[in-house]
Each structure stands twice: as structure tokens, then as C-alpha cells.
Amino acid sequence: MTMTLNRLTEIKQKNQELVMVRKLVASQAEEMAKHTAYRKQILVCGGTGCTSSGSLKVIEALEKELKKNNIEDVLVVKTGCFGLCALGPVVIVYPEGAFYSQTTPEGAKRIVDEHIMNGNICKDLLYPETVHEDGEILPLSKTNFYAKQMRIALKNCGVIDPENIEEYIALDGYFALHKVLTEMTQDQVIDTMLASGLRGRGGAGFPTGRKWAFCKATKSDIKYVCCNADEGDPGAFMDRSILEGDPHAVLEAMAIAGYAIGASQGYVYVRAEYPIAVQRLQIAIQQAREYGLLGDNIFRTDFCFDVEIRLGAGAFVCGEETALMTSIEGKRGEPRPRPPFPAVKGLFQKPTILNNVETYANVAQIILKGADWYSSIGTETSKGTKVFAVGGKITNVGLVEVPMGTTLREIIEEIGGGIPNGKKFKAAQTGGPSGGCIPSVHIDTPIDYESLARIGSMMGSGGLIVMDEDTCMVDIAKFYMEFICEESCGKCSPCRIGTHRLLQMLDDITKGKATIEELDKIEELAAHMKVSCLCALGQTASNPVTSTLRYFREEYEDHILNKRCAAKKCKELLHYQIDPDKCKGCTLCSRNCPVGAISGTVKEPHHIDIDTCIKCGLCKQNCKFDAVYME
């Protein structure tokens, strides 16, 4: 079909009320719902987190129960991620906005029988934070988790059905593309991006408008627009959630970028580990083509643009821009030296721009609401919002979008709900294997590109892993170095050899085999790698080590000098001991010890000789009084 503004507006109006019911406060939503065909709408999260905890079975149960009772004026919608992944499967019933967490198929049946049919909200199944002491139900926006958030990149996630392009259009979808194609010149689009202050959300923070301007300035008959959805940082799932929850936002932005630089072909490079995201993206591309929003002569202009998906195959380095392009070309995904930069010679040797999923998710809204609106959010140098995937030792694991400049403390203590089990905060890791650890003294740092770099970490793509006092920082540094060693592509020797040497030294430290001079060697090698590696993977590979060494040097020294791991994580440094208060002298441990390391007489506390002990753990397994412990 040929898409026109009239047609687009018609689709928007047809679906607007249905979708707005989910965006308004309860009283207004109820009024709005009367104008739709549905008395109630049940939204179920179909993101990876909730799907893994069984949301598809919940949907099945809801639909079955509705059908059984011949209810036709209630709509079940499978949406993208709501953010509260640890509480999945998440179900919201509109217009009331009742937020059910950890829903089971049995719970789904009750929701239909009690809530939908009789109007009695199942309060015991609601997310406890949304139930006030006096029994009143609070809107989700009033809970700690959502109150401080500001949703721009995630604005449609958990609101629309990502497999229905009309719901995207209902919330102004593809109007930005129309505006760009019919009212703006290429330079005006680029100037708007520059003025908005939007910077790359993949980690490095390069101004998006400048990237586009460089590429537009390069003369070529063929150019490409690429989207980096190879979200490889372990613990990061922002891009996946956007693709799963709002894939059209990415496609629309890629088309806008295509217009700005003069490209007619786009590629989305997605990790194969994200099957749901790939499937939603495929559906979105298909629908956009059917509606004439991808393809030839979009909105009856000269502009033609199409998008193809390319799947990764499990190589972390392919998140690096030149490696990603080499991989799309069907080769080993090794990085190329820059210059030439991709804006000059990129994919298939043609000028190319590559932006991250989250970066694209901001573009259409900047076009519609203006650069001034966007640049009014955030800090001096970092504009807009940032999505973080908060994980690790934190109560509310999930997806969080906050204005730049929000402090780590606000994210961890207020939105994240603090550290579970009464443990103490030790550090937060941002930026994945390229980033660093932020210790508790810096917990009040406002998060933006510059301030994170100043304290030795980086924004990265947005993974934020919280660690408590049980985490050994040397072990964490070793964990990241093992990751990097495996993922180093091997093309340049500073990375290939350097990462292995770093890992070897870290391994020695965790085994008590290192000397104190090793710490200086680590720092020296890290400094060399920063300047001599070919790509960002190697240049930043030492960050997790150097940042933990900077803030937790005494922990490294404790391992080396005292052969002690205070977090009790490094097994080789632990020793089995017997608590004399608990030991009844039953002799079971000494009889089972294969090396005769345990001495003691009957009914007297026993003792383990740590020099003889081989740490097999049989004594601990056999003790009936829990007297054997590791220290």
C-alpha cells in the first residue's frame, strides 16, 4: 500500500483510544475505555525475562478462561518489557492499572474469575508495593521503582503490542519519518540531531549528529545505515528489550538516518542469542513494508529505504563497529584499523553509519518534540536519558530509564530497592568487560559520560551489576579477564597476548602464588595495552583490573601478602577448620579424611592440619554438627 499522511492519521485515530487507556491515570482511563470495543485490557509481558518465567502459559490460561466464560469485550495484549524482570510474569489490567506480579496460570484464572468477571481485584496477587496499607491500590508510577524513572527510549515498551504496527502508529509512530521526508532537508535533520545533544548509547558517547554529518559529507552513490544490536556485554539487556517491545521505533529512526545521509539500505546486526527480539523485528519489517513505510517512494517521495536483519553467531568483538561490518560482509569478524572511519569507508567499503539500538530509539521523538525539549533533559554534556539493566545483588532486578545525572545511589537504593538480605553495598560495575567498578565512596556520583570516565569506569551500553560484601574484587576482575581472553579475536598481539598475561597474573593472585611486584606489572601492561591495541576491545580490556586495583588495592594485597580472600570466594586460599564449640568429637571427619590431616581424641574437639589437608571437603560433608567451616 502507498502510505500517505491522511492514511497514517486515520490509523492513529482508529487505535489511539485503545492504546491511551494504558497511558492514562485510572479515572481518565475508565472514561477512555468506554470509547473502545473493550471493557478491559489485560497486558502481559512477553519479553525474554517474563517469557522465561512462564508468561506464555499465563496468556494461554487467560485466553482459555475468557473463552470459557464467553467474554469477548476483554482484550489480552502481549507487550514488551515492563522493566521489573525479577517479578515476572507481569500482568497489568487496565483501565484500573492493577499490577499483578509473579503471576501463575492459576493466578491468571483467578484474575479472570474474580477481577474481570466480578470486579474484585485479587489484592493478594498484586505487586505488594502497589497496595497501600489502607487497601487502596496505587498506580505503578507511584512505586519506588517507577517514580524516579523517565521513559523516552522505553516509552512504548510494556504499552503497545510490538507485533502490531497500528499500535505504534497510534502513539505518533512514523509521523517523525513523514515530517522529515516532507518538511525537512537532510541538513536540517542532522542539525536537529546535533542540537539535541544525543550521544551514542553503545558506550563511547560519540555525538550522533556529528557521525551523520561526516557520512553525509562523503560522496558516494551507495551508503548504508547499520544498527548495532549485538548487545554483548554480559548483564546488559536494554537493546534486547527495546527490540522486543518497540521494534518500529528502531526501524523509523533508521529510515530517518537513511534520509539524512542519503542511504537506501539498512542492516540490523542482532545477536542470535535473542530469538524473541529477532522474531519481533522480522514481523515489524514485514508490516512496515506492507504499510509502505519501508520500500520504494515512502510517503510518495523519492526516498526509498529497506532494512535487512543479519544474525551474529556469538562473537563479542562483533559489537565493535568495524568488526560488526566485517561480519555482515560474511567474514571473520575481525576489526579493521581506523582511519578510514566507517563514515568514509564502512560496510562493503561504502560510507556507513552505525548506531546503537537505544540511540535510534530516541531519534523519532527528537524530531517530533524538538531538539530543545531533548537537550533540556540531562546534564551539561550528557543529554537525555539512559537505560540501565540493573542486575546482580539488588532487590529490583530489571530495566530502568533515568535522566542523565541521576546518581548511582538513587538507582540502587531508591529505584533498585537496595541490597537484599541486609548485606552491604560494595561496588557497582558499569560498562561490562570494558568498564570498571565504582566503589561505595563514589555512590553519589551523577551518572553521565564524563563523570563515569573520571572515576575510572565508563557508561558502556548500560549494564549495571551491583555487588555486595560477598563479592571478591580480584575474582570479578579475573572473571572479566577470562571473558575477554576468550573473546579476543587474536588479530593484534597486544590484545591476544596481553589479555592472557593479565589473566595469568590474576589467576596467580587468586591462588596465592603471586608476589607484590605483580601489581606493578599489571599496571604497566594495562597502560601499554590501552595505547597499542587495535580496537576498543583490547584498549579497554584492562579497565576492570585497573579500576578494582585503584579502589580495592588492599584486597589484592591481602590475597598476595596474607594469602587471604576476605569474601571467601577464592577457593585455593580457603582452609577447612573445625569450630571447637560445635565439634562433639564424634571422629567421623578424621575417619573419612583420605590424607589423615585431622587429629583429635574421642569426645574432644578435632583439629585440621592445613598443610596436610587437600581440601577435598569430605570432612564438611560428613560432619553432622556443622562444625567444619571454611576460612
Partner 1 sequence: MANVAFRGTPKQERELRKFIKKHKDQPGAMMPVLQEAQGIYGYLPREVQMIIAEEMGVPLSQVFGVATFYSQFTLSPKGEHTVSVCLGTACYVKGADKILAAIEERLGIKAGECTSDGFFSIDSCRCLGACGLAPVMTIDGEVYGKCTPESAVKIIDSYYEEV
Binding positions for partner 1, rule: CB under 8 A = 48-49, 51-53, 84-88, 231-237, 240, 272-275, 310-316, 327-334, 348, 389, 391-393, 397-398, 429, 432, 463, 465, 467, 471, 476, 479-480, 483, 489
**Residue 330: alpha-carbon gap to chain centroid:** 27
The smaller minimum CB distance to partner 1, of residues 329 and 626, is found at 329
- Rounded to a whole number of angstroms, the minimum distance from the CB of residue 235 to partner 1 is 4
The smaller minimum CB distance to partner 1, of residues 467 and 492, is found at 467
SS3 content of the chain, % helix, strand, coil (to 5): 45, 15, 40
- Rounded to a whole number of angstroms, the minimum distance from the CB of residue 160 to partner 1 is 20
The smaller minimum CB distance to partner 1, of residues 476 and 597, is found at 476
The smaller minimum CB distance to partner 1, of residues 118 and 421, is found at 421
The smaller minimum CB distance to partner 1, of residues 341 and 479, is found at 479
Cα–Cα distance between 142 and 139 in angstroms, integer?
6
Cα–Cα distance between 51 and 276 in angstroms, integer?
9
Q: Is 78 helix (H, G, I), strand (E, B) or coil?
A: strand
- Rounded to a whole number of angstroms, the minimum distance from the CB of residue 75 to partner 1 is 26
- Rounded to a whole number of angstroms, the minimum distance from the CB of residue 348 to partner 1 is 6
8 Å CB contact between 177 and 364: yes
Segment holding 467, helix H or strand E:
strand 463-468
Residue 385 burial class via C-beta count within 10 angstroms: exposed 0-12, middle 13-18, buried 19 and up: buried
- Rounded to a whole number of angstroms, the minimum distance from the CB of residue 468 to partner 1 is 9
The smaller minimum CB distance to partner 1, of residues 331 and 338, is found at 331
Cα–Cα distance between 458 and 375 in angstroms, integer?
21
- Rounded to a whole number of angstroms, the minimum distance from the CB of residue 347 to partner 1 is 9
C-alpha grid cell, residue 268: 540490523
| β-bridge mates for residue 269, sequence order | 228, 310
Q: How far is CA 45 from CA 90, 100, 151, 244, 324, in A?
A: 6, 11, 17, 10, 31
The smaller minimum CB distance to partner 1, of residues 389 and 549, is found at 389
- Rounded to a whole number of angstroms, the minimum distance from the CB of residue 95 to partner 1 is 27
**CB-facing half-sphere around the CA of 598: CA atoms within 13 A:** 30
- Rounded to a whole number of angstroms, the minimum distance from the CB of residue 357 to partner 1 is 13
The smaller minimum CB distance to partner 1, of residues 67 and 331, is found at 331
C-alpha grid cell, residue 159: 504499552
The smaller minimum CB distance to partner 1, of residues 293 and 467, is found at 467
Q: How far is CA 612 from CA 252, 593, 598, in A?
A: 67, 10, 9
Residue 174 burial class via C-beta count within 10 angstroms: exposed 0-12, middle 13-18, buried 19 and up: buried
Cα–Cα distance between 326 and 329 in angstroms, integer?
5
Query: What end-to-end distance do the CA atoms of the chain give, in Å?
Result: 71
- Rounded to a whole number of angstroms, the minimum distance from the CB of residue 389 to partner 1 is 6
**Residue 457: alpha-carbon gap to chain centroid:** 17
